[in-house]
Chain A
Amino acid sequence: MDLLFEFLNTLKNTVVDVLPILSIILGFQLLVIRKPIPHIKQVGFGFIYVLIGLALFLLGLEKALFPLGKMMAEQLTAPEFIQAGETVLTSIHWSDYKWVYIFAAAIGFSTTIAEPSLIAVAIKAEEVSGGAINANSLRISVAIGVAIGIALGSYRIVVGHPIHYYIIAGYIVVVIQTFFCPKLIVPLAYDSGGVTTSTVTVPLVAALGLGLASTIPGRSPLIDGFGLIAFASLFPIIAVMAYAQITEAKARRVEKKLEKRKRIKVNKRNLKQIQKDSSNES
Protein backbone atom coordinates (compact mmCIF):
# COMPACT_ATOMS: atom_id res chain seq x y z
CA MET A 1 0.00 0.00 0.00
CA ASP A 2 2.82 2.36 0.93
CA LEU A 3 4.58 1.38 -2.25
CA LEU A 4 1.52 2.22 -4.33
CA PHE A 5 1.26 5.60 -2.64
CA GLU A 6 4.93 6.30 -3.26
CA PHE A 7 4.52 5.25 -6.88
CA LEU A 8 1.57 7.58 -7.40
CA ASN A 9 3.54 10.41 -5.84
CA THR A 10 6.53 9.80 -8.14
CA LEU A 11 4.19 9.49 -11.11
CA LYS A 12 2.64 12.84 -10.23
CA ASN A 13 6.09 14.47 -10.09
CA THR A 14 7.06 12.92 -13.42
CA VAL A 15 3.86 14.18 -15.04
CA VAL A 16 4.52 17.69 -13.67
CA ASP A 17 8.06 17.57 -15.11
CA VAL A 18 6.75 16.52 -18.49
CA LEU A 19 3.87 19.00 -18.59
CA PRO A 20 5.86 21.85 -20.24
CA ILE A 21 7.06 19.55 -23.04
CA LEU A 22 3.59 18.14 -23.53
CA SER A 23 1.96 21.57 -23.73
CA ILE A 24 4.57 22.82 -26.22
CA ILE A 25 4.01 19.78 -28.44
CA LEU A 26 0.24 19.98 -28.26
CA GLY A 27 0.22 23.77 -28.68
CA PHE A 28 2.29 23.68 -31.84
CA GLN A 29 0.47 20.64 -33.19
CA LEU A 30 -2.96 22.22 -32.74
CA LEU A 31 -2.22 25.89 -33.44
CA VAL A 32 0.60 25.85 -35.99
CA ILE A 33 0.59 22.53 -37.78
CA ARG A 34 -3.20 22.20 -37.45
CA LYS A 35 -3.31 18.58 -38.41
CA PRO A 36 -4.26 15.63 -36.27
CA ILE A 37 -1.30 13.68 -34.88
CA PRO A 38 -0.80 10.53 -36.98
CA HIS A 39 -1.54 7.31 -35.05
CA ILE A 40 -2.72 9.37 -32.12
CA LYS A 41 -3.85 6.39 -30.09
CA GLN A 42 -0.52 4.61 -30.36
CA VAL A 43 1.43 7.79 -29.58
CA GLY A 44 -0.79 8.49 -26.59
CA PHE A 45 -0.22 5.02 -25.17
CA GLY A 46 3.49 5.40 -25.88
CA PHE A 47 3.56 8.60 -23.82
CA ILE A 48 1.72 6.91 -20.96
CA TYR A 49 4.19 4.00 -21.04
CA VAL A 50 7.10 6.45 -20.96
CA LEU A 51 5.62 8.24 -17.94
CA ILE A 52 4.86 5.05 -16.04
CA GLY A 53 8.27 3.65 -16.96
CA LEU A 54 10.11 6.73 -15.81
CA ALA A 55 8.17 6.89 -12.54
CA LEU A 56 8.86 3.21 -11.77
CA PHE A 57 12.50 3.69 -12.73
CA LEU A 58 12.98 6.70 -10.46
CA LEU A 59 11.15 5.09 -7.55
CA GLY A 60 13.25 1.95 -7.91
CA LEU A 61 16.46 3.98 -7.99
CA GLU A 62 15.40 5.89 -4.86
CA LYS A 63 14.64 2.63 -3.10
CA ALA A 64 17.52 0.44 -4.13
CA LEU A 65 20.47 2.13 -5.72
CA PHE A 66 20.76 5.72 -4.59
CA PRO A 67 20.88 5.17 -0.80
CA LEU A 68 23.37 2.35 -1.16
CA GLY A 69 25.49 4.07 -3.80
CA LYS A 70 25.59 7.33 -1.88
CA MET A 71 26.48 5.53 1.35
CA MET A 72 29.30 3.75 -0.44
CA ALA A 73 30.63 7.00 -1.85
CA GLU A 74 30.63 8.43 1.67
CA GLN A 75 32.28 5.39 3.23
CA LEU A 76 34.95 5.08 0.56
CA THR A 77 35.92 8.73 0.91
CA ALA A 78 35.72 8.78 4.72
CA PRO A 79 39.05 9.41 6.51
CA GLU A 80 38.61 6.17 8.51
CA PHE A 81 38.68 4.15 5.33
CA ILE A 82 41.47 6.09 3.62
CA GLN A 83 43.89 6.06 6.56
CA ALA A 84 42.94 3.18 8.78
CA GLY A 85 41.55 4.48 12.06
CA GLU A 86 42.36 8.17 11.57
CA THR A 87 39.39 10.51 11.86
CA VAL A 88 41.11 13.57 10.41
CA LEU A 89 43.33 13.35 7.39
CA THR A 90 46.77 14.74 7.97
CA SER A 91 48.94 14.16 4.94
CA ILE A 92 47.38 12.52 1.96
CA HIS A 93 48.93 10.93 -1.06
CA TRP A 94 46.89 10.56 -4.23
CA SER A 95 47.42 6.79 -4.16
CA ASP A 96 45.59 6.54 -0.82
CA TYR A 97 42.43 6.92 -2.84
CA LYS A 98 42.89 3.94 -5.17
CA TRP A 99 39.55 2.40 -4.20
CA VAL A 100 37.83 5.71 -4.86
CA TYR A 101 39.18 5.81 -8.42
CA ILE A 102 38.16 2.21 -9.03
CA PHE A 103 34.71 2.86 -7.58
CA ALA A 104 34.37 6.04 -9.66
CA ALA A 105 35.23 4.20 -12.86
CA ALA A 106 33.03 1.18 -12.06
CA ILE A 107 30.01 3.23 -11.02
CA GLY A 108 30.48 5.56 -14.02
CA PHE A 109 30.55 2.61 -16.42
CA SER A 110 27.65 0.71 -14.91
CA THR A 111 25.27 3.65 -14.46
CA THR A 112 25.92 4.78 -18.03
CA ILE A 113 24.95 1.34 -19.36
CA ALA A 114 21.58 1.75 -17.60
CA GLU A 115 21.04 5.38 -18.67
CA PRO A 116 17.67 5.54 -20.52
CA SER A 117 18.48 8.55 -22.71
CA LEU A 118 21.67 6.92 -23.94
CA ILE A 119 19.68 3.78 -24.80
CA ALA A 120 17.33 5.99 -26.81
CA VAL A 121 20.11 7.67 -28.79
CA ALA A 122 21.86 4.33 -29.38
CA ILE A 123 18.67 2.76 -30.74
CA LYS A 124 18.17 5.71 -33.07
CA ALA A 125 21.80 5.65 -34.23
CA GLU A 126 21.64 1.95 -35.07
CA GLU A 127 18.39 2.49 -36.95
CA VAL A 128 19.61 5.52 -38.92
CA SER A 129 22.99 4.04 -39.80
CA GLY A 130 21.31 0.87 -41.06
CA GLY A 131 23.17 -1.21 -38.48
CA ALA A 132 26.64 0.15 -39.31
CA ILE A 133 26.73 1.50 -35.77
CA ASN A 134 25.92 -1.16 -33.22
CA ALA A 135 23.79 0.16 -30.34
CA ASN A 136 25.55 -1.94 -27.71
CA SER A 137 29.07 -1.11 -28.88
CA LEU A 138 28.17 2.57 -28.88
CA ARG A 139 26.83 2.32 -25.32
CA ILE A 140 29.91 0.47 -24.13
CA SER A 141 32.24 3.06 -25.69
CA VAL A 142 30.30 5.88 -24.04
CA ALA A 143 30.39 4.02 -20.72
CA ILE A 144 34.16 3.56 -20.96
CA GLY A 145 34.45 7.29 -21.61
CA VAL A 146 32.38 8.12 -18.54
CA ALA A 147 34.40 5.66 -16.43
CA ILE A 148 37.71 7.29 -17.40
CA GLY A 149 36.19 10.76 -17.01
CA ILE A 150 34.86 10.27 -13.49
CA ALA A 151 37.98 8.46 -12.28
CA LEU A 152 40.15 11.27 -13.61
CA GLY A 153 37.77 13.86 -12.15
CA SER A 154 38.08 12.22 -8.71
CA TYR A 155 41.86 12.26 -9.05
CA ARG A 156 41.66 15.96 -9.84
CA ILE A 157 39.68 16.66 -6.66
CA VAL A 158 42.19 14.64 -4.60
CA VAL A 159 45.26 16.44 -5.94
CA GLY A 160 43.47 19.78 -6.25
CA HIS A 161 44.44 20.75 -9.79
CA PRO A 162 42.34 23.48 -11.44
CA ILE A 163 39.56 21.97 -13.53
CA HIS A 164 40.07 23.99 -16.69
CA TYR A 165 43.51 22.49 -17.45
CA TYR A 166 41.87 19.09 -17.81
CA ILE A 167 38.87 20.31 -19.76
CA ILE A 168 40.97 22.37 -22.17
CA ALA A 169 43.36 19.45 -22.73
CA GLY A 170 40.34 17.27 -23.43
CA TYR A 171 39.06 19.80 -25.95
CA ILE A 172 42.39 19.73 -27.75
CA VAL A 173 42.18 15.94 -28.03
CA VAL A 174 38.61 16.27 -29.38
CA VAL A 175 39.76 18.79 -32.01
CA ILE A 176 42.59 16.56 -33.21
CA GLN A 177 40.36 13.46 -33.30
CA THR A 178 37.67 15.32 -35.22
CA PHE A 179 40.00 15.76 -38.17
CA PHE A 180 41.10 12.13 -38.28
CA CYS A 181 38.00 10.10 -37.48
CA PRO A 182 35.26 8.99 -39.90
CA LYS A 183 32.95 11.93 -40.70
CA LEU A 184 29.81 9.89 -40.06
CA ILE A 185 30.48 9.52 -36.35
CA VAL A 186 31.36 13.13 -35.47
CA PRO A 187 27.85 14.51 -34.73
CA LEU A 188 26.88 11.37 -32.81
CA ALA A 189 30.10 11.54 -30.79
CA TYR A 190 29.44 15.18 -29.87
CA ASP A 191 25.90 14.23 -28.84
CA SER A 192 27.04 11.37 -26.67
CA GLY A 193 28.69 13.83 -24.31
CA GLY A 194 25.36 15.38 -23.40
CA VAL A 195 23.27 12.26 -23.02
CA THR A 196 25.44 10.42 -20.54
CA THR A 197 24.69 12.46 -17.52
CA SER A 198 21.09 12.30 -16.48
CA THR A 199 18.83 10.27 -14.26
CA VAL A 200 21.12 7.56 -12.97
CA THR A 201 24.62 9.00 -13.14
CA VAL A 202 24.22 12.52 -11.73
CA PRO A 203 23.00 11.77 -8.18
CA LEU A 204 25.68 9.11 -7.54
CA VAL A 205 28.46 11.14 -9.08
CA ALA A 206 27.42 14.23 -7.14
CA ALA A 207 27.57 12.21 -3.90
CA LEU A 208 31.06 11.04 -4.77
CA GLY A 209 32.29 14.56 -5.56
CA LEU A 210 30.77 15.95 -2.39
CA GLY A 211 32.23 13.14 -0.27
CA LEU A 212 35.71 13.73 -1.66
CA ALA A 213 35.62 17.50 -1.48
CA SER A 214 34.31 17.62 2.08
CA THR A 215 36.86 15.22 3.59
CA ILE A 216 40.11 16.27 1.91
CA PRO A 217 41.76 19.17 3.73
CA GLY A 218 41.93 22.32 1.68
CA ARG A 219 39.05 21.41 -0.64
CA SER A 220 35.75 23.22 -0.45
CA PRO A 221 32.74 20.97 -1.08
CA LEU A 222 30.92 23.89 -2.62
CA ILE A 223 33.61 24.65 -5.18
CA ASP A 224 35.50 21.39 -5.75
CA GLY A 225 32.37 19.25 -5.50
CA PHE A 226 31.32 20.57 -8.90
CA GLY A 227 33.03 19.52 -12.07
CA LEU A 228 32.71 15.72 -12.13
CA ILE A 229 29.75 15.98 -14.50
CA ALA A 230 31.84 18.05 -16.89
CA PHE A 231 34.40 15.23 -16.99
CA ALA A 232 31.62 12.72 -17.59
CA SER A 233 30.38 14.72 -20.58
CA LEU A 234 33.76 15.32 -22.18
CA PHE A 235 35.40 11.91 -22.19
CA PRO A 236 32.60 10.00 -23.95
CA ILE A 237 33.16 12.25 -26.99
CA ILE A 238 36.77 11.10 -27.13
CA ALA A 239 35.79 7.47 -26.48
CA VAL A 240 33.15 7.34 -29.23
CA MET A 241 35.49 8.86 -31.81
CA ALA A 242 38.20 6.43 -30.72
CA TYR A 243 35.72 3.55 -31.16
CA ALA A 244 35.01 4.72 -34.72
CA GLN A 245 38.72 5.07 -35.47
CA ILE A 246 39.47 1.58 -34.17
CA THR A 247 36.59 0.08 -36.14
CA GLU A 248 37.77 1.82 -39.28
CA ALA A 249 41.35 0.71 -38.81
CA LYS A 250 40.20 -2.88 -38.32
CA ALA A 251 38.04 -2.75 -41.44
CA ARG A 252 40.97 -1.40 -43.41
CA ARG A 253 43.21 -4.20 -42.21
CA VAL A 254 40.64 -6.84 -43.20
CA GLU A 255 40.32 -5.20 -46.60
CA LYS A 256 44.06 -5.26 -47.09
CA LYS A 257 44.18 -8.92 -46.18
CA LEU A 258 41.41 -9.75 -48.65
CA GLU A 259 43.19 -7.81 -51.34
CA LYS A 260 46.39 -9.67 -50.68
CA ARG A 261 44.58 -12.99 -50.88
CA LYS A 262 42.93 -11.96 -54.11
CA ARG A 263 46.26 -10.95 -55.57
CA ILE A 264 47.76 -14.32 -54.64
CA LYS A 265 44.83 -16.09 -56.26
CA VAL A 266 45.18 -14.04 -59.43
CA ASN A 267 48.89 -14.79 -59.53
CA LYS A 268 48.20 -18.49 -59.17
CA ARG A 269 45.62 -18.35 -61.93
CA ASN A 270 48.04 -16.54 -64.17
CA LEU A 271 50.67 -19.12 -63.44
CA LYS A 272 48.30 -21.93 -64.38
CA GLN A 273 47.33 -20.14 -67.56
CA ILE A 274 50.97 -19.74 -68.52
CA GLN A 275 51.64 -23.40 -67.81
CA LYS A 276 48.64 -24.38 -69.92
CA ASP A 277 49.70 -22.14 -72.75
CA SER A 278 53.21 -23.50 -72.73
CA SER A 279 51.97 -27.11 -72.68
CA ASN A 280 49.60 -26.36 -75.55
CA GLU A 281 52.39 -24.84 -77.53
CA SER A 282 54.60 -27.82 -77.12
Chain B
Amino acid sequence: MNNQIIVFLKALLGSCKDLLPIILVIAFFQFVVLQQTMPNVGDILVGLVLVVLGLTFFIYGLEMGLFPIGESMAQAFAKKGSISWLLTFAFCLGFGTTVAEPSLIAVAKEAAIVAASGGIIADTVESQLSYANGLRFTVAFAVGLAIVIGVLRILRGWPIQYLILGGYVVVVLMTIIAPSWIIGIAYDSGGVTTSTITVPLVTALGVGLASAIKGRNPMIDGFGLIAFASLTPMIFVMMYGMVIG
Protein backbone atom coordinates (compact mmCIF):
# COMPACT_ATOMS: atom_id res chain seq x y z
CA MET B 1 0.00 0.00 0.00
CA ASN B 2 2.81 2.37 0.97
CA ASN B 3 4.54 1.50 -2.24
CA GLN B 4 1.47 2.44 -4.26
CA ILE B 5 1.24 5.80 -2.57
CA ILE B 6 4.86 6.52 -3.45
CA VAL B 7 4.18 5.56 -7.08
CA PHE B 8 1.14 7.81 -7.13
CA LEU B 9 3.03 10.73 -5.60
CA LYS B 10 5.80 10.30 -8.15
CA ALA B 11 3.22 10.36 -10.95
CA LEU B 12 1.68 13.46 -9.39
CA LEU B 13 5.06 15.19 -9.36
CA GLY B 14 5.54 14.22 -13.02
CA SER B 15 2.21 15.80 -13.93
CA CYS B 16 3.17 19.00 -12.11
CA LYS B 17 6.34 19.14 -14.20
CA ASP B 18 4.31 18.61 -17.39
CA LEU B 19 2.12 21.54 -16.50
CA LEU B 20 4.83 23.93 -15.36
CA PRO B 21 5.59 25.33 -18.86
CA ILE B 22 1.97 26.40 -19.41
CA ILE B 23 1.83 28.12 -16.04
CA LEU B 24 5.07 29.97 -16.75
CA VAL B 25 3.93 31.08 -20.20
CA ILE B 26 0.56 32.31 -18.97
CA ALA B 27 2.10 34.11 -15.99
CA PHE B 28 4.78 35.76 -18.13
CA PHE B 29 2.31 37.10 -20.68
CA GLN B 30 -0.20 38.15 -18.05
CA PHE B 31 2.24 40.05 -15.82
CA VAL B 32 5.06 41.14 -18.12
CA VAL B 33 3.57 41.61 -21.57
CA LEU B 34 -0.07 42.51 -20.92
CA GLN B 35 0.73 43.90 -17.46
CA GLN B 36 -2.47 42.80 -15.80
CA THR B 37 -3.28 41.07 -12.54
CA MET B 38 -4.55 37.50 -12.46
CA PRO B 39 -8.36 37.38 -12.48
CA ASN B 40 -10.16 34.77 -10.29
CA VAL B 41 -7.04 33.40 -8.64
CA GLY B 42 -9.13 30.91 -6.66
CA ASP B 43 -10.77 29.41 -9.73
CA ILE B 44 -7.45 29.12 -11.49
CA LEU B 45 -5.79 27.36 -8.57
CA VAL B 46 -8.67 24.87 -8.28
CA GLY B 47 -8.50 24.31 -12.03
CA LEU B 48 -4.77 23.65 -11.94
CA VAL B 49 -5.16 21.11 -9.13
CA LEU B 50 -7.84 19.34 -11.20
CA VAL B 51 -5.64 19.31 -14.31
CA VAL B 52 -2.72 17.82 -12.40
CA LEU B 53 -4.92 15.16 -10.76
CA GLY B 54 -6.59 14.39 -14.08
CA LEU B 55 -3.32 13.92 -15.93
CA THR B 56 -2.03 11.64 -13.18
CA PHE B 57 -5.15 9.45 -13.22
CA PHE B 58 -5.11 9.33 -17.01
CA ILE B 59 -1.52 8.10 -17.23
CA TYR B 60 -2.13 5.64 -14.40
CA GLY B 61 -5.15 4.19 -16.20
CA LEU B 62 -3.39 4.24 -19.53
CA GLU B 63 -0.85 1.64 -18.48
CA MET B 64 -3.40 -0.36 -16.51
CA GLY B 65 -6.23 -0.45 -19.02
CA LEU B 66 -5.81 1.13 -22.43
CA PHE B 67 -2.42 -0.27 -23.43
CA PRO B 68 -3.12 -3.83 -22.21
CA ILE B 69 -6.52 -4.05 -23.93
CA GLY B 70 -5.13 -2.78 -27.24
CA GLU B 71 -2.28 -5.25 -27.13
CA SER B 72 -4.30 -8.24 -25.97
CA MET B 73 -6.83 -7.68 -28.76
CA ALA B 74 -4.05 -7.42 -31.33
CA GLN B 75 -2.59 -10.68 -30.11
CA ALA B 76 -5.99 -12.41 -30.07
CA PHE B 77 -6.63 -11.35 -33.67
CA ALA B 78 -3.16 -12.46 -34.72
CA LYS B 79 -3.74 -15.85 -33.12
CA LYS B 80 -7.18 -16.19 -34.67
CA GLY B 81 -5.63 -15.61 -38.07
CA SER B 82 -8.72 -14.08 -39.65
CA ILE B 83 -7.61 -11.08 -41.66
CA SER B 84 -11.13 -10.05 -42.64
CA TRP B 85 -12.24 -9.79 -38.98
CA LEU B 86 -9.11 -7.87 -38.10
CA LEU B 87 -9.72 -5.39 -40.93
CA THR B 88 -13.39 -5.06 -39.96
CA PHE B 89 -12.30 -4.29 -36.42
CA ALA B 90 -9.76 -1.78 -37.72
CA PHE B 91 -12.39 0.01 -39.78
CA CYS B 92 -14.93 0.10 -36.92
CA LEU B 93 -12.32 1.43 -34.51
CA GLY B 94 -11.34 4.23 -36.88
CA PHE B 95 -14.86 5.10 -37.96
CA GLY B 96 -16.51 4.71 -34.56
CA THR B 97 -14.04 6.77 -32.61
CA THR B 98 -13.99 9.60 -35.14
CA VAL B 99 -17.66 10.05 -35.91
CA ALA B 100 -18.40 11.04 -32.30
CA GLU B 101 -15.21 13.06 -31.77
CA PRO B 102 -16.21 16.41 -30.20
CA SER B 103 -13.47 18.48 -31.85
CA LEU B 104 -14.49 17.12 -35.26
CA ILE B 105 -18.13 18.01 -34.60
CA ALA B 106 -17.02 21.55 -33.70
CA VAL B 107 -14.86 21.93 -36.82
CA ALA B 108 -17.62 20.53 -39.06
CA LYS B 109 -20.09 23.04 -37.67
CA GLU B 110 -17.73 25.95 -38.33
CA ALA B 111 -17.01 24.64 -41.79
CA ALA B 112 -20.75 24.60 -42.52
CA ILE B 113 -20.98 28.27 -41.54
CA VAL B 114 -18.08 29.06 -43.89
CA ALA B 115 -19.74 27.22 -46.73
CA ALA B 116 -23.09 28.95 -46.15
CA SER B 117 -21.56 32.43 -45.96
CA GLY B 118 -19.56 31.71 -49.10
CA GLY B 119 -22.71 30.76 -50.97
CA ILE B 120 -21.60 27.19 -51.55
CA ILE B 121 -24.66 25.79 -49.83
CA ALA B 122 -28.03 27.35 -49.06
CA ASP B 123 -27.98 29.54 -45.94
CA THR B 124 -30.50 27.49 -43.97
CA VAL B 125 -30.10 25.51 -40.78
CA GLU B 126 -31.05 22.30 -42.55
CA SER B 127 -28.55 22.52 -45.37
CA GLN B 128 -25.83 23.52 -42.91
CA LEU B 129 -26.63 20.53 -40.75
CA SER B 130 -26.60 18.12 -43.67
CA TYR B 131 -23.32 19.63 -44.88
CA ALA B 132 -21.73 19.31 -41.42
CA ASN B 133 -22.92 15.73 -41.10
CA GLY B 134 -21.66 14.90 -44.57
CA LEU B 135 -18.27 16.28 -43.61
CA ARG B 136 -18.24 14.32 -40.36
CA PHE B 137 -19.07 11.02 -42.01
CA THR B 138 -16.53 11.70 -44.76
CA VAL B 139 -13.79 12.22 -42.19
CA ALA B 140 -14.89 9.20 -40.13
CA PHE B 141 -14.90 7.01 -43.23
CA ALA B 142 -11.44 8.32 -44.14
CA VAL B 143 -10.08 7.45 -40.70
CA GLY B 144 -11.65 3.97 -40.82
CA LEU B 145 -10.01 3.40 -44.18
CA ALA B 146 -6.72 4.77 -42.83
CA ILE B 147 -6.60 2.25 -39.99
CA VAL B 148 -7.43 -0.54 -42.45
CA ILE B 149 -4.57 0.49 -44.75
CA GLY B 150 -2.27 0.89 -41.74
CA VAL B 151 -3.11 -2.59 -40.40
CA LEU B 152 -2.64 -4.12 -43.86
CA ARG B 153 0.75 -2.46 -44.01
CA ILE B 154 1.73 -4.05 -40.68
CA LEU B 155 0.54 -7.47 -41.86
CA ARG B 156 2.39 -7.24 -45.18
CA GLY B 157 5.42 -5.33 -43.88
CA TRP B 158 5.18 -2.58 -46.51
CA PRO B 159 7.58 0.29 -45.87
CA ILE B 160 5.63 3.26 -44.54
CA GLN B 161 7.46 6.06 -46.35
CA TYR B 162 6.22 5.18 -49.84
CA LEU B 163 2.60 5.07 -48.69
CA ILE B 164 2.77 8.33 -46.75
CA LEU B 165 4.81 10.17 -49.37
CA GLY B 166 2.43 8.86 -52.05
CA GLY B 167 -0.40 10.27 -49.93
CA TYR B 168 1.36 13.64 -49.83
CA VAL B 169 1.54 13.66 -53.62
CA VAL B 170 -2.21 13.01 -53.77
CA VAL B 171 -2.82 15.83 -51.25
CA VAL B 172 -0.75 18.25 -53.35
CA LEU B 173 -2.51 17.26 -56.58
CA MET B 174 -5.93 17.55 -54.95
CA THR B 175 -4.99 20.98 -53.57
CA ILE B 176 -4.53 22.19 -57.14
CA ILE B 177 -7.96 21.06 -58.31
CA ALA B 178 -10.07 21.39 -55.14
CA PRO B 179 -12.06 24.59 -54.53
CA SER B 180 -9.99 26.99 -52.45
CA TRP B 181 -12.54 27.40 -49.61
CA ILE B 182 -12.23 23.75 -48.62
CA ILE B 183 -8.42 23.63 -48.41
CA GLY B 184 -7.92 25.15 -44.94
CA ILE B 185 -10.66 22.97 -43.48
CA ALA B 186 -9.29 19.88 -45.23
CA TYR B 187 -5.77 20.47 -43.93
CA ASP B 188 -7.06 21.02 -40.40
CA SER B 189 -9.31 17.96 -40.45
CA GLY B 190 -6.22 15.76 -40.50
CA GLY B 191 -5.20 17.07 -37.11
CA VAL B 192 -8.46 16.97 -35.22
CA THR B 193 -9.39 13.34 -35.82
CA THR B 194 -7.17 11.66 -33.29
CA SER B 195 -8.52 11.95 -29.77
CA THR B 196 -6.90 11.33 -26.43
CA ILE B 197 -8.36 7.86 -26.03
CA THR B 198 -8.02 6.74 -29.65
CA VAL B 199 -4.31 7.47 -29.86
CA PRO B 200 -3.15 5.12 -27.06
CA LEU B 201 -5.54 2.38 -28.20
CA VAL B 202 -4.49 2.55 -31.84
CA THR B 203 -0.80 2.75 -30.89
CA ALA B 204 -1.12 -0.31 -28.65
CA LEU B 205 -2.98 -2.14 -31.44
CA GLY B 206 -0.21 -1.44 -33.96
CA VAL B 207 2.63 -2.30 -31.62
CA GLY B 208 0.78 -5.42 -30.43
CA LEU B 209 0.22 -6.63 -34.00
CA ALA B 210 3.80 -5.98 -35.02
CA SER B 211 5.12 -7.89 -32.02
CA ALA B 212 2.71 -10.81 -32.54
CA ILE B 213 3.63 -11.31 -36.20
CA LYS B 214 6.92 -13.00 -36.97
CA GLY B 215 9.42 -10.91 -38.88
CA ARG B 216 7.89 -7.55 -37.95
CA ASN B 217 9.75 -4.99 -35.89
CA PRO B 218 7.42 -3.23 -33.42
CA MET B 219 9.40 -0.01 -33.78
CA ILE B 220 9.39 0.10 -37.60
CA ASP B 221 6.09 -1.64 -38.30
CA GLY B 222 4.14 -0.95 -35.11
CA PHE B 223 3.99 2.84 -35.32
CA GLY B 224 2.43 4.70 -38.20
CA LEU B 225 -1.30 4.01 -37.82
CA ILE B 226 -1.96 7.55 -36.58
CA ALA B 227 0.01 8.97 -39.49
CA PHE B 228 -2.46 7.37 -41.90
CA ALA B 229 -5.37 8.61 -39.81
CA SER B 230 -4.16 12.19 -40.17
CA LEU B 231 -3.47 11.92 -43.90
CA THR B 232 -6.59 10.35 -45.45
CA PRO B 233 -9.08 12.88 -44.03
CA MET B 234 -7.32 15.66 -45.96
CA ILE B 235 -7.79 13.78 -49.23
CA PHE B 236 -11.39 12.83 -48.54
CA VAL B 237 -12.47 16.26 -47.33
CA MET B 238 -11.06 17.84 -50.49
CA MET B 239 -12.96 15.24 -52.51
CA TYR B 240 -16.08 16.11 -50.56
CA GLY B 241 -15.52 19.78 -51.37
CA MET B 242 -15.21 18.97 -55.06
CA VAL B 243 -18.42 16.92 -55.06
CA ILE B 244 -20.39 19.62 -53.20
CA GLY B 245 -18.87 22.55 -55.09
| B43: contacting residue among A24, A51, A63, A194, CB under 8 A | A63
Give complex CA distance A57, B18 in Å.
13
- Say yes or no: is A222 at the interface (Cβ < 8 Å to chain B): yes
Q: How many A-B residue pairs have CB under 8 A?
A: 335
Tell me which residues from 96 to 131 in chain A have a Cβ below 8 Å from any Cβ of chain B.
99, 103, 106-107, 109-111, 113-114, 116-117, 119-121, 123-125, 128-129
Interface residue from B34, B114, B168, B200 paired with A117 (Cβ < 8 Å): B200
In the complex, are the beta carbons of B51 and A57 less than 8 A apart?
yes
Nearest neighbor of A32 in chain B, beta-carbon distance? B85
Least CB distance from B34 to A in Å reads 6
Q: Are A103 and B196 in contact (CB under 8 A)?
A: no
Closest approach, in angstroms, between the C-beta of B88 and any C-beta of chain A? 8
SS class, residues of chain A in contact with chain B: helix
Report B-chain residues with C-beta under 8 Å of the C-beta of A28: 73, 85, 89, 92
Known: A52-B57, A120-B199. A63 touches B73 (CB 8 A): no
With a CB–CB cut-off of 8 A, which chain A residues contact B72?
A: 37-38
Number of interface residues of A (CB under 8 A): 101
A64, B193: Cα distance in complex, Å: 25
The number of chain B residues touching the other chain, given as a range, is 35 or more
List residues 17-75 of chain A with CB under 8 A from any CB of chain B: 17-21, 23-25, 28-29, 32-33, 35, 37-39, 42-65, 68-69, 72, 75
* Pick from A20, A33, A56, A168: contact of B96, CB under 8 Å: A20
* Chain A interface residues toward B at CB < 8 A: 3, 16-21, 23-25, 28-29, 32-33, 35, 37-39, 42-65, 68-69, 72, 75-76, 81, 99, 103, 106-107, 109-111, 113-114, 116-117, 119-121, 123-125, 128-129, 163-164, 167-168, 171, 174-175, 178, 183-184, 186-188, 190-191, 193-200, 202, 222-224, 226-230, 232-233
Across the A-B interface, the 9 shortest Cβ-Cβ residue pairs = A46-B65, A64-B47, A49-B61, A57-B54, A53-B57, A46-B64, A60-B50, A56-B54, A63-B47
